[in-house]
Amino acid sequence: MTCYDLFKPTNAGSQKRRSCGRGDYPLSESLRQSPETAPSGSHPVLPDQATIAAATSGTGFRAVLSNRNFLAIWVAQMASQTAQNSLWYALIIMVGHLTGASPAGIGFTIILVQLPTVLFSSVSGVFVDRFSKRLILVGTNVIRVFGVLAYLLFETNVGGLYAVTFLVAVVSQPFAPAEGSTLPLLVYGEQLITANSLFQMTFMASQAIGFAIAPIVIGLFGIRITLLVLAALFALSAAVLIPLPPVTDRRKAASAGNLRRLVVRTWGDLAEATRFVVDDPPLAVALLQISLAPTLLLVLAEVGPAFLTHNLGIGQTSTSLFFLLAPAGLGLGIGMFILGQWGQRLRKDRLVLVSLIALGGTVIALAATTIISSFWHTLGAAGLPIPSGVQQTTIMVPIAALLGIEVAFINAPVQTIVQERATPEVRGRVLALQQTLTAGLAIPPLILVGGIAAVAGVPATLTLMGVAIVIVGLGIVYYS
């Protein structure tokens, strides 16, 4: 398996350290060992040899989907993520109804959703590394079923809604690192980037579907029926995960029996994961890169309606984001399909860097949609043989689609890099640290962008953001 050779060696002696970043053994070698050949108690419990053989034959979506364990965790992801995103939309509706659509009340709700990720996701990674990942995946969804039903008890009590929201968000923290650290133990070799492409595609699709079906179901059946449907989706996610093998680390699972001792060692485990990342610069860079796309999408969701309605004159405030997110989602799907079919032939580090720099340029082009439209009409007025009647929407749609493709070309390869470079013993903690960084790094831009947009306008704000992304990409190239 090729190392993520982001940092160029200065000499032969440093090449081994800086290309692999993990000392004297090759990257993710433990993933190639079967349960019989792996040192006793030092590696997670993996599926049997027949499962491994079946899971490594062939590439592409069909080969990956023939892996029953992957299919189970993929279906669980679709069900739980769709339910989660629909739940947050329903929650905003409930809180908005009780607070008179107060921005402060709704904003506090979003903070309660994000805050547990910053506070507890790294801690949850410790538990993921020490307990059965199947138990965590199933148990998290079962608890979320009861959490959703608890909303029915506080439908008219905003304080109760806040409390349940925080608790559900806390309980949800172990799910993503458990899911992410289980995936490379169920999918092997070149199939991993295809599996991650499917995961990234369905993750983004579930966000769109969740926010799309929630208002429809609420409008047709009311909030109570909607909550019952979401509870059923979480229950479905738990049910399909039960047949998974009990993926765990025998050595660490044995030490997890003493809860007090586990709590005492938690901070030591977190420090170990942090040192693991710091000692592996390519892994640290990958964690930074993978946090950029979610931050960008949140910023676009924040300033998008004003940009589309006021600057471009597209749609109404409540519907304008469709014209941006729909083509971006289509581009994301195209990008994930390309990666799923041919991604194993591409060098991941170069693909990510090129896509990152291109993403910055695309954001700048998005900000310049009005300028591009005016220039296009000027060329037409000058008598050049170009299509007439081109509107700003026509220009923005392909730009948004290109943005989606670039996000796909960043997220799936980077997620694969993170999973490959993090050894099984610390993978859960590293993925939890990824959650913390993604949520934490998104907060300052969200605060700054609102102020900058109010002073300089949304196009200037998007331009600054695009320039910043280009600088980050060029900086990585320069120091690599």
The residue range of the domain holding 77 is 17-479
Of 449, 454, 450, nearest in space to 465 by CA: 449
Assess if residue 6 is contained within a domain.
no
Residue 263 has pLDDT above 90, yes or no: no
Q: Bridge-partner residues for 44, per DSSP?
A: 249
Q: Among 35-39, 147-151, 449-453, which stretch is predicted with the lowest mean pLDDT?
A: 35-39
Assess if residue 2 is contained within a domain.
no
Q: Among 19-33, 263-277, 285-299, 373-387, which stretch is predicted with the lowest mean pLDDT?
A: 19-33
- Count up the domains in the chain and report the number: 1
Residue 130 has pLDDT above 70, yes or no: yes
Q: How confident is the model at residue 449 (pLDDT cuts 50, 70, 90)?
A: confident
Q: Which amino acid is at 364?
A: I
Residue 404 has pLDDT above 80, yes or no: yes
Residue 366 has pLDDT above 60, yes or no: yes
Residue 433 has pLDDT above 90, yes or no: no
- With b for 16 or more beta-carbon neighbours within 10 A and e for fewer, the 205-228 pattern comes to bbbbbbbbbbeebbeeeebeebbe
Assess if residue 5 is contained within a domain.
no
Residue 11 has pLDDT above 60, yes or no: no
Give me the pLDDT at residue 171, please.
86
Residue 105 has pLDDT above 80, yes or no: no
SS3 249: strand
| Cα–Cα distance for residue pair 104/195, rounded to 1 Å | 40
**Contact (CB, 8 A) for 462 and 363:** yes
Q: How confident is the model at residue 35 (pLDDT cuts 50, 70, 90)?
A: very low
Give me the pLDDT at residue 318, please.
44
Residue 276 has pLDDT above 50, yes or no: yes
Percent of the residues in the chain that have a pLDDT greater than 90, as a whole number: 13
**Contact (CB, 8 A) for 189 and 60:** no
Residue 29 has pLDDT above 50, yes or no: no
Q: How confident is the model at residue 326 (pLDDT cuts 50, 70, 90)?
A: confident
Assess if residue 440 is contained within a domain.
yes
Give me the pLDDT at residue 321, please.
59
SS3 44: strand
Assess if residue 271 is contained within a domain.
yes
Residue 172 has pLDDT above 80, yes or no: yes
Give me the pLDDT at residue 358, please.
94
pTM over the 0.75 mark = no
List the CATH number of the domain containing 183: 1.20.1250.20
What residues have CB less than 8 Å from 179, skipping those under 6 apart? 73, 76, 77, 137
Assess if residue 4 is contained within a domain.
no
Tokens (6 digits) for 175 = 């799910």
What value does the mean pLDDT take over residues 436-462?
A: 80
Assess if residue 1 is contained within a domain.
no
Tokens (6 digits) for 391 = 């509107």
The pLDDT mean for the chain works out to 75
Give one word for 277, left, alpha or beta, with left for phi > 0 and alpha for psi -120 to 50.
Answer: alpha
Q: Give the distance between the most distant pair of CA atoms in the chain.
A: 80
Residue 109 has pLDDT above 80, yes or no: no
| Cα–Cα distance for residue pair 4/353, rounded to 1 Å | 12
Residue 38 has pLDDT above 60, yes or no: no
Secondary structure (DSSP) of 144-193: HHHHHHHHGGGTT-HHHHHHHHHHHHHHHTTHHHHHHHHHHHHS-TTHHH
Assess if residue 3 is contained within a domain.
no
Give me the pLDDT at residue 46, please.
47
What value does the mean pLDDT take over residues 239-245?
A: 87
Residue 420 has pLDDT above 50, yes or no: yes
